[in-house]
Structure 1
Amino acid sequence: MGTAPEDSRKVAELVGIKTFTNEFIAYGVLRDLINNRHKLENYTQFFNGTGPWSWQGDNIVLGLTNEMLKGGVISVRSEIIATYALCGFSNFGSIGITLGGMGALAPNRKKELSRMVLRAMIAGNVACFLTACIAIKSNLLKCI
């Protein structure tokens, strides 16, 4: 989708969280990554770029404040891509909701519906991913 190589795993984890749980939980994780980036930027600006910090696994440790930024950080570009990639209700929970709602409307076609809902979820995810690809190629990045 165009994420920075160092953020690819984080964005993939966010997409996985969105697909297997829901987008609200994934947006919560994304919020934490964004907050971590802001904390790291403020830390380095406050100490004029001389404040020591280091990686400890996926976490960042701020040396002078002894604060740990769990999960690390994500770049602005990857943040924009992830925001669009997570935007949609295409997850396994939505399959049940769709099947339950449509099955009530057309009870004699439940068998057909059960074959289509997985493909519909995949198509919904692909639509979100394509939106993320297009958004990053458009002028949206020039705004930041």
Structure 2
Amino acid sequence: MSDLKPMGGDNIPWPWLRRGDDDAIPWNKIFGDGDPIPWAKKDAVPPGRWEPGIADYFAVQVGPFVDVTAQGMVSYSNTEVKLFRSAITVFPPEYVLLFQLPQIGLPMQKPFTVTASFMATERVSKVVVWDKKGEHDVEVVQAPW
């Protein structure tokens, strides 16, 4: 087993080839700060070219469930659209609409619809969504249930 080398060279640790190690997967040696996927925290924006988008918004509350929806158009067929929850801990939560721009894209107008959800123990009257045009106060429609 000692003559096995990782494909990337000797600098990449192979924890499964070492036996009796206290730290079976030494993430801090691979990534530096101990976090194996630093951008994968809840509602964190993954790496890439993200920019604010433009859309129309509406929100509906059915019991404890609140859905915030954005609808609009993107300029490239392979643009990814997401409603990310803001890192600010307020209730109701605030969202930001972001487009991930492709490095190579086919220019064409394509409609999109994205939804984000959260739970609420009381009635929510409005939700704030940020985009390229700034802050939007989205009225929450109360659905009968």
- Calculate the TM-score normalised by the size of structure 2: 0.20
Relative contact order (alpha carbons < 8 A, sep ≥ 6): 1 or 2 greater? 1
Q: Larger % of strand: which?
A: 2
Of Structure 1 and Structure 2, which has the larger fraction of its residues in helix? 1
TM-score (norm 1): 0.20
Higher-Rg structure is 2
